[in-house]
Amino acid sequence: MEPIPATSHAAASAELLLRVQQSVEGVIRGKREAIQFALVALIARGHLLIEDVPGVGKTTLAHSLARSFNCTFQRIQFTSDMLPSDVIGISVYNQQTRQFEFRPGPIFANIVLADEINRTTPKTQSALLEAMNESQVTVDNRTYPLPKPFMVVATQNPNEHHGTYPLPESQLDRFLIRLRIGYPPAQNEKEILRNFAANNPLAAVEPVMSAEEVAEMQEQARNITVDDALVGYLLALVEKTRQHEHLTLGVSPRGSMMLYRAAQALALLEGRHYTIPDDFKRLVLPVFAHRCVVSSRYASALRKTDQAEAILRDIIESTPVPL
């Protein structure tokens, strides 16, 4: 029996992912790119940060994405009085066995919605660091693996809003992609009012893929071909962020790896078994912008995140693309 060509695997995966995308688009109207980037984060074995003002569909996107996969899902509503044990779990003494028993927290799920993550204290935010980086948690000197696949979808309101705690750079660096949904176009908002005002749009979302199929696609993405010339292009972009006069913090090696994996996932999403320069160019802003820290000397009326994106656009324009 001859092996199935890589192109056939990629086409089958792309078709399945397209069904997921269409399912989510039935709820989140007019935001195709945001949905695609969410799928890229999942297939690239990364985590997603959705940052925007209240009411534009951050939580709905996370819910609809989770409902499209037949896997375990937990939602954590972060508040200022939440403790780390409320996230990862706690050891409880059993009087009958006279031993401590670990009771897992909501972090033990395939997809975890960390809703309004910046409304909790840095101490509780840090409880996610080990889970996001190593897919495990440590409680009382014992390590517990998390289920596979594992993905954190976090939402946050902009830091200008009252009652928020800005995420530190070490926490932001754990997110593969940060995206903003934005307000819907007028025509799409009219559809939302007509179709969803009296109904729950999430009720119509049916599971399209199983956890096993997601894990299989994640393995397929690892095998997507990345040409050496594109690796050099990626590293050139990274090096310019580290040397830019308006950035006090450039992209870390983890950030380089995240863009590499994201480009592989985007290629799989589009049915290719190889990456192209446009994969990297499309992903630079959502993968790098939250990793760059703009110097305070770079005076601008824009927010820090917008300044970082403007700098990255200049870097993309000034970096030669391999032929």
Q: What is the pLDDT of residue 221?
A: 95
pLDDT at residue 246 above 80? yes
3-state SS, residue 112: strand
The whole domain housing 85 covers: 1-211
* Assigned domain for 217 exists: no
Per-residue pLDDT tens digits for 120-157: 888 888 888 889 989 999 888 889 999 999 999 998 87
- Please tell me whether residues 191 and 252 are part of one structural domain: no
- Please tell me whether residues 168 and 258 are part of one structural domain: no
Q: What is the pLDDT of residue 94?
A: 85
Per-residue pLDDT tens digits for 167-209: 888 889 999 999 988 888 888 888 778 777 667 777 778 888 8
- Please tell me whether residues 183 and 234 are part of one structural domain: no
* Total tally of structural domains belonging to the chain: 2
What is the pLDDT of the chain when averaged over all its residues? Answer: 87
Per-residue pLDDT tens digits for 255-283: 999 999 999 999 999 999 999 999 999 99
Token output for 157: 């309101």
Q: What is the pLDDT of residue 5?
A: 53
CATH number at residue 321: 1.10.8.80
Residue 64 burial (CB count, 10 A)? 23
Q: What is the pLDDT of residue 304?
A: 63
- Please tell me whether residues 48 and 169 are part of one structural domain: yes
CA of residue 83 relative to chain centroid, distance: 23
∠ Cα 253 271 264 (to 5°): 5
CATH number at residue 188: 3.40.50.300
- Please tell me whether residues 14 and 146 are part of one structural domain: yes
- Please tell me whether residues 92 and 195 are part of one structural domain: yes
Token output for 198: 């009296």
- Please tell me whether residues 231 and 180 are part of one structural domain: no
pLDDT at residue 163 above 80? no
Identify whether 320 is preceded by a cis peptide bond (ω within 30 of 0): no
- Please tell me whether residues 234 and 188 are part of one structural domain: no
